Amino acid sequence: MDLGQVVRELQHSRNGVTVKTEDGFVYEANYVILSASIGVLQSDLICFRPPLPRWKTEAIEKCDVMVYTKIFLKFPYKFWPCGPDKEFFIYAHERRGYYTFWQHMENAYPGSNILVVTLTNGESKRVEAQSDAETLKEAMSVLRDIFGPEIPTATDILVPRWWNNRFQRGSYSNYPIISDNQVVNDIKAPVGRIFFTGEHTSERFNGYVHGGYLAGIDTSKDLLVEIRKYERENENKSFLLEPLLALTGSLTLSQSDTVSGLQKCDVPTQLYLSSKLGIPEAIL
């Protein structure tokens, strides 16, 4: 397994997939499972050659991407209420979603003196675009509105930027309420030898870690079915070709030589052979 490689191009054909990375590495594969997020699929990080078909790109575009941002603020000491049944507090502001949901970390990490505030979508994108110092100023102003002017200023702040992260382009998929299974089915449907997985391909649990996990299992099963189908078809082809090989005396040729030779046969010969032998599939 090669980690830390950025995939930039997937060239696919009936014979396999060529994966090209940002560092110029090239990998050849019979099949590829692509687990990049729906946001990445909507971006131009990965170039598909040939491009994905329209039914696929349309389905990808139909799925919304949710941006969900947890901002962490570390304080020199606690000034918020703690204890049983006290973990969350809500701030009401005339602007929707403005530093609304707060949570302290005392239950999970006692003594950490950390508060978390959750922002979503528009507010997430707005905050991502400004400096952390600006965000700290806004958050402190809200906290002073709630707890009074005497509270200490946070000593540290962490602002994740899921929207601007080119490997995420959002936090998770959010299918429109009015959408049928066709959208998710099209998003997860393979294109040739490229299989798609990730939380956004999970019909029941999209948006969740277990959705990603279960989708991974499902996709690998689908791929195994496809590989076995392909192998069976090839076995059948070689089984059907045996009498022809004997007939044409071309046993010394490789199977692929023989097939390409047959393609060049004139039509009457092909018809004769197929009707005589009753194996039309053998004439490609």
Residues of the shown chain interacting with ligand FAD in the complex, contacts defined by CB under 6 A: 6-7, 35-37, 40, 45-46, 68, 70, 162, 167-168, 171-172, 198-199, 207-209, 212
**Residue 216 and residue 35 in contact, taking contact as beta carbons nearer than 8 Å:** yes
As a three-state string, the secondary structure of 210-258 is HHHHHHHHHHHHHHHHHHHHHHHHHHHHHHHHHHHHHHHCCCCCCHHHH
Residue closer to ligand FAD (CB basis): 166 or 232 = 166
Shortest distance in whole angstroms from residue 51 CB to ligand FAD: 16
Residue closer to ligand FAD (CB basis): 70 or 78 = 70
The whole-angstrom separation of Cα 60 and Cα 186 is: 8
Shortest distance in whole angstroms from residue 78 CB to ligand FAD: 24
Shortest distance in whole angstroms from residue 72 CB to ligand FAD: 11
Helices and strands, counts by H and E, the chain = 8, 13
Residue closer to ligand FAD (CB basis): 170 or 192 = 170
Residue closer to ligand FAD (CB basis): 106 or 199 = 199
Shortest distance in whole angstroms from residue 171 CB to ligand FAD: 3
Shortest distance in whole angstroms from residue 202 CB to ligand FAD: 8
Residues in the chain: 284
Shortest distance in whole angstroms from residue 194 CB to ligand FAD: 13
For residue 253 the two structure tokens come to 């040729």
Provide, for the chain, the percentages of residues in helix, strand and coil under a 3-state DSSP scheme, each rounded to the nearest 5. Answer: 40, 20, 40
> DSSP H helical segments within 107-208, as ranges?
121-128, 132-147, 181-188
For residue 189 the two structure tokens come to 């449907």
Shortest distance in whole angstroms from residue 221 CB to ligand FAD: 17
Residue closer to ligand FAD (CB basis): 42 or 274 = 42
Helix (H) or strand (E) holding 42: helix 38-42
Report the SS3 class of residue 198: coil
Residue closer to ligand FAD (CB basis): 40 or 115 = 40
Residue closer to ligand FAD (CB basis): 21 or 255 = 21
Torsion of CA 130, 135, 141, 143, to 10 degrees: 150
Residue closer to ligand FAD (CB basis): 167 or 272 = 167
Supply the DSSP string of 74-116, one letter for each residue.
Answer: E-SS--S--STT--EEE---SSTTSS-EEEE-TTTSTT--EEE
β-strands 101-104, 114-120 pairing: antiparallel
HSE, side-chain direction, 13 A CA sphere, residue 230: 13
Shortest distance in whole angstroms from residue 206 CB to ligand FAD: 8
